[in-house]
Structure 1
Amino acid sequence: MNRTGVRRRIGLAIDASDQATILGDTDGRIGRALGVPSSPSLDLPGAASAKVLLGLGQPSYLSWEQGLYGLPASRSWIVWDGALYNRSGLEKLLRGEGVSLQTRGDAELVLQAYRLWGQDCLRIFNGRWSFLLYDGAEGIFWAARDRFGVKPFYYHRAEGTFAFASEQKALLRAPFVPQAFDAGAVFDYFVRGRVEMDEETLFAGIRQLLPAHAASGSMVDGAWAPRQYYQLGYTQRVGTYDPGAFAMHTGRVRELLLDATRQRLKRQSAAPATLLSGGLDSSVLAVAIKRMAPASPLTALTAAYAQSEIAEQQWAEIVALTTEARWIKVYPQAEQLRKELETFIYAQDTPTFSTGTYAQHCLFRQAAREGLPVIFDGQGADALFGGHLPYLSALWSDLFRTFQWGSLVQEMKNSGLGPKGYLRDRLKYRWLPRWPAALQYAFQRSYFKELSFLQPELLRSQRHRLRQSGPSSGDGLNAALYEGFTQGGMNFLLKCVDRAAAWHGVDTATPYADDLPLIEYVFSIPPVYKIHHGQRKWLLREAFREMLPEAIYQRPDKKPLLTPNNEWIASMRDAIRPYFEEQDEAIFNKKRLLDQFDQFFNPASPVENYRMYKFVSLAVWRKVFNL
């Protein structure tokens, strides 16, 4: 498990007779604790020919016990990246089975649970994880990733070789991993708006283990068999709005989210810190942290801008004052982005969809400077509670299907969208993806003119992928939420947060995205309680009404994580042109793009246009990874 912002790297070499040696053990303490030989160097003679090599990048927030453990007598070892939030309950279970625990690390708990219950042990874990376990007695290695994809797991598999890491850049340093892009994934990025939602990645030789999947690999024949070990369920019952039932649901959601916050606070010794935009999701986290740790000084970090149309710091300030937080404003700048554009993209491993990810990069950098090891983040709330605009029309479909005409008319009226908005969202998000690939392709080419800047052959050869675009679930709100939470873009958003934090040696806490009791309960609630009176995230808003500042509770116009994208790109136009001039013809239609370069990268419309940023991001990505 290689993480970028690390203070120490530890290796584990296992030879043909399953004897282990700890590498990079500068003072010998790890080897003594685990009862195996150790070396202060990572370059121990013979390590390159070892049967198994495991590595751990140790950031400042992680002790080695949290990420590495072994039972030499059982010939089993694990390298782990993650956090178990039901640790105390798991410890009781293991001690009840006669297990004597030697460390305070999660890695030991997982290995001991595997020894007792085999691969079924995943069922009792609540948390986030990515790990690989070597079982010498069975001659297998076993990998697993958490249910919702908070922690990443990438691998390269070829004849006689299996390599894995938490980041693609680590795998690309291996001489046997090809330095090439995947044409289908590039098509998905530009045309389908998808990155890393499937096993394949943008790198041709690298795949990912999907969320809620585990895989066993054989040391004998190299077999590799991923399987899904968990599937989130959701209620298909629409229901009719009942105030008594709603009060019960809000009370339970509040209780579960507060408990999830408490569990995450319990794991850290440092004072709590959170990202704070001033929107509902981050504000709820801030007040929840304050409620569960009233004596601990809270730090809140906010991305701030001078442009009034996107500035939200005035809302964040209200929450900071309410929670008595130490409030830190971070001002991302265009010139700063220009100077570190390559570093930023390298840190992310992939091109991103917006400059909003750069704002996250800046926030986590400041967190590291402030000595904040763990940061709460509100990622996942929109997909869990129904925060995105298209979820309105999904609820309307539920109401239409169940003949709740009065409620349907009222919801349309209160939303401000009306029938035209319904038809537009249905077309874009539900109907269009079900069209035949040829019709989708023709529509995309006519609507998104910038696709003409891509190589026609790339588009033609990959357009069959549009057949995969159709939603796999039903048309209602809970089906749409399920799709967004498990199959949509949330996995990529979590990836962006993970890379931004890891690059600066910071960890995150994301209860909306990884707390199993909370997530399963919310998906058991009928959709009529999630959007009401045209208010998205109605359930979350009402659950914390008494704890939120009144201005935040009443706020109707929360923006996504915006940056002055158009202004930034226009100011960087001359600096980014060489990235396109130096490109080969594999992806871009260079002549057409360069002929219209000034026009394309100087948009007349004030509406933020992230389409042009995608071209910049991918061009820089190709350069920094030499693709």
Structure 2
Amino acid sequence: MCGIFGSIGFPPDPGCIDIVAHRGPDGRGWRVFDSPAGPVALGHRRLAIIDMSDNGLQPMADPSGRYQLVFNGEIYNYIELRDELRAQGVAFTTESDSEVLLLAYIHWGESALARLRGMFAFIIWDDLAKRFFAARDRYGIKPLYFVANAQGIGFASEIKQLLELPGIPRALNLARAHDFLANGISDHTAETFFAGILQLRGGESALIDLSAGRVSAPVVRRWHAVALPDIAPISERDAADRFRALLSDSVRLHLRADVPVGSCLSGGLDSSSIVCLMAQMLTASSAGLHTVSACYEDKSVDEKPFMDAVVERTGARAHFIFPRAEDVFQRASDITWHQDEPFGSTSIFAQWCVFEEARKAGIKVMLDGQGADEILAGYHSLFPVYLAELARSFRLRELARVMRDRQSTHGQSLLLQIARLGFSLAPEGLKANVRRTHRGQMQHGWMATEALAALSRQPTALQTAAESLGLAAPKDIAGYCLVMAHASNMPMLLHWEDRNSMAHSIEARVPFLDPPLVDFALALGNQHKLVGADTKRVLRRAMADILPPEVSQRRDKLGFATPEEAWFRGPLRHLVLDGVERTLRLLPGLLDPAGVRRLATDILDGRKPFDFALWRIVSLGLWAERFRVSLR
């Protein structure tokens, strides 16, 4: 895990790599090359994880010196790829996965990308052909941003690096601000909150040919196609066995490191599965299994009993932290600076605290359960979609059984379920009208401004996310899983985790996003994901023999929650109101002042149900202040 930078045409500035020293405190590299279109600079900050020697320093050159690599991430199957390349006559001089990546690209070209099991964002400069190539892993686990103006093009791991380049404005992207405020979503398109600064999406590459002596726009293309898979018929037992084998193999690969490895543990099904598999694989001679968890005195969001069950089952060395309300705003500015963009809730603060504790414990690599909800339909919000599928296929007995299970297990009234089912079954035109009406009501309130009015008539954020990858808006569970994994939920969650972990010089790894596992999961039918009131059925069955039963049989889902409602209505009330005023002051004209103030006081006084939009308004102002962002 590292921080990288590459620029073409701009005056070379090492400050663009030093500003992300937190991403790589173990080494620094900087080189400048000549090209017919001006200087090409490559920079690297190293976080040493595999091959701790200086052999892993970057930029890394091949033996001829023609190709130069800067790379952020890990290639987990580098040992197998190195053996394959050696069998074809390729010689190696180091033990690093970086060299495997570089020589694989030279040997196989861009087709090497499909062979990689890992997380990566990298740049390769071909000094002979004068070609600049960049790529990002298929799910976007590792970030890569770019920007262009009349002076040149820059690529970087974090947006703040690009803001160091001359002539780059700090203007708000209204469309992305609208989607964030209205829907709580970000990273669902190539655009960022900064107008003009883009990101390569997961599974994309960019090529810039400088041989003609001019800087042209990057040719961006998808190297990993995103498409609905064919649903594979498979028995419940075989599906569970296959899933267990694939997840076990992924965890085995994700444990490859020359430094201590631990795991986040929330007490949920996903992270608990990772921890239990790690416990089976780590040997007595290893440093031991460390887990880090966030806990709360507020029992409505506390999962410590489930964490304790996993710790007792595995013998892990557990580290428990208790994030405090009074620390939220003390840390908010620093978290915002590391995140580069506004973030959706105070759960990001809690995650920050987890990685902070991991660093104190000397854990340099942390595994996490991100991704399982997206590939296995783990969100309870998907049940109306599932019910609609049952209704369309006239599986009415199963439909009634699921609704009764939802009522008895989660307290959802049959009337509410029927209403949501009716909406899911409604014609698309009617649903679009209802959504527009809902957004219009928001426009008549706190978002009723000229700046945002036109955006309320645009497609929904989910539709925008799907269309950005050439997909139709999802209508069934398979479609929702595909879009969530590639375009909506997952890119946003990975963004937050990358910045929080790297802020503390820790590499976060996500075994559920191993390509063979993802491909298998996305091709499973609904009967392996949603059964009765259960989500992620195949994972529950696959892990039943090693998970504590109180975890494997959990039907509730908290996510990575904080007692945000109690905090805001209690000790943080005045700071939240101050945050609302900050946003109104720094971004005048974006929101309706009277509407925002009314929304805030109604929520804080309990006249309206709690709404995470309140934090999003505050977060937008914190970001505008920290990055000196203007509305235009």
TM-score by length of 1: 0.88
* Distance in 1 of aligned mates of 2:390 and 2:431: 28
Indicate conservation of the 8 Å contact 2:188/2:491, yes or no.
Answer: yes
Asked if 1:155 corresponds to 2:120, the answer is no
**Alignment partners' CA distance in 1, 2:430 and 2:123:** 41
Q: Map of 1:472-511 to 2, 5 A cutoff?
A: 472-511=472-511
Of 170, 175, 187, the residue aligned with 2:178 is 187
Cα deviation, residue 574, structure 1: 2.7
Q: Which residue of 1 aligns with 2:452?
A: 459
Name the counterpart of 2:42.
54
Match of residue 70 from structure 1: 61
For the residue of structure 1 that corresponds to 2:459, the secondary structure is: helix
Q: 1:261: which partner in 2?
A: 251
- Correspondence list, 1:229-268, <5 A: 229-237=223-231, 245-265=235-255, 267-268=256-257
Distance 1:433 1:12, change over 3 A: farther
Counterparts of 1:519 and 1:277, CA distance in 2: 22
Q: Shift of the alpha carbon at 1:585?
A: 1.1
Contact 2:178 2:455 in 1 (8 A): yes
Shift of residue 403 of structure 1?
3.3
For 1:620, give the aligned amino acid.
L
User: What SS does the corresponding residue of 2:85 show, helix, strand or coil?
Assistant: helix
Compare 343-352 and 577-586 and name the one that shifted more: 577-586
C-alpha deviation, 1:484, in angstroms: 1.2
Cα distance in 2 for residues equivalent to 1:194 and 1:427: 25
AA at the equivalent of 2:543? F
> Deviation of residue 591 (structure 1)?
4.8
Q: Match of 1:281?
A: 270
Q: Which runs of 5+ in 1 are unaligned?
A: 19-48
CA distance in 2, matches of 1:427, 1:141: 52
SS, match of residue 78 in structure 1 = strand
Which residue among 614, 619, 623 is the counterpart of 1:612? 614
User: Would the alpha carbon gap of residues 254 and 572 (structure 1) be closer, same or farther in structure 2, given more than 3 Å must change?
Assistant: same
| CA gap 1:17/1:615 in 2 versus in 1, 3 angstroms | closer
Task: Give the corresponding residue for 1:412.
Answer: 403
What does 1:5-154 correspond to in 2, within 5 Å?
Answer: 5=22, 6-8=24-26, 10-16=28-34, 51-59=39-47, 61=49, 63=52, 65=56, 68-71=59-62, 73-154=64-145
Q: Distance in 2 between matches of 1:459 and 1:430?
A: 30
User: Match for 1:248: what amino acid?
Assistant: D
Which residue in 2 is equivalent to 1:532? 531
TM-score by length of 2: 0.87
> Structure 1 counterpart of 2:496, which letter?
C
Counterpart Cα distance in 1 of 2:32 and 2:102:
17
Structure-1 separation of matches of 2:425 and 2:65: 52
How many angstroms apart in 2 are the aligned matches of 1:389 and 1:523?
18
**1:67-122, CA deviations, whole angstroms, 9 ceiling, x for partnerless residues?**
53112635211100011111122101211221111122222212211211211111
List aligned pairs for 1:395-406, cutoff 5 A. Answer: 395-406=386-397
Instruction: Supply the AA of the counterpart residue of 2:82.
Output: E
Query: What is the letter of the counterpart of residue 41 of structure 2?
Result: L
Per mean C-alpha deviation after superposition, the further-off stretch among 542-551 and 564-573 is 564-573
1:585 match: 588
Q: Distance in 2 between matches of 1:425 and 1:83?
A: 43
SS at match of 1:406: helix
Shift of 1:56: 1.1
Compute the displacement of 1:142 (Å). Answer: 0.6
**% same residue:** 25
* Distance in structure 2 (CA, Å) of the matches to 1:165 and 1:370: 29
Q: Structure 1: which amino acid aligns with 2:554?
A: R
Q: Distance in 1 between matches of 2:559 and 2:462?
A: 24
* Distance (whole Å) between structure 1 residues aligned to residue 609 and residue 277 of structure 2: 35
Superposition map of 1:320-339 within 5 A: 320-339=311-330
Moved more, 371-380 or 396-405: 396-405
Shift of 1:590: 3.1
Q: Which amino acid aligns with 1:12?
A: W
Taking the aligned partners of 1:402 and 1:12, their CA distance within structure 2 comes to 60
Deviation at 1:277, TM superposition (A): 1.1
Q: Which residue in 2 is equivalent to 1:43? A: none
CA distance in 1, matches of 2:405, 2:35: 69
Shift of 1:159: 2.9
The residue that corresponds to 1:228 in the other structure is 222
Q: Structure 2 matches for 1:280-319, cutoff 5 A?
A: 280-295=269-284, 296=286, 297-319=288-310
Q: Which stretch of structure 1 is more off in the superposition, 153-162 or 580-589?
A: 580-589
Distance 2:425 2:619 in 1: 28
Q: Indicate how the Cα distance of structure 1 residues 551 and 623 shifts in structure 2: closer, same or farther if over 3 A, else same.
A: same
Once the two structures are TM-superposed, the CA of residue 60 in structure 1 deviates from its matched residue by: 5.5
Q: Tell me the amino acid that sits aligned with residue 453 of structure 1.
A: W
Structure 2 CA distance for aligned equivalents of residues 429 and 490 of structure 1: 23
Q: Secondary structure at the match of 2:170?
A: coil
Residue 581 of structure 1 deviates from its aligned partner by: 5.8
SS in 2 for 1:353: coil
1:440-459 correspondence runs (5 A): 440-446=435-441, 448=442, 452-454=445-447, 456-459=449-452
- Seen in structure 2, the aligned counterparts of structure 1 residues 424 and 361 have a Cα distance that, compared at 3 Å, is farther
CA distance in 2 between partners of 1:285 and 1:474 (Å): 29
Look up the SS of the partner of 1:329 in the other structure: strand
Superposition deviation, residue 505 in structure 1: 0.4
Structure 1 residue 438, shift from structure 2 partner: 7.2
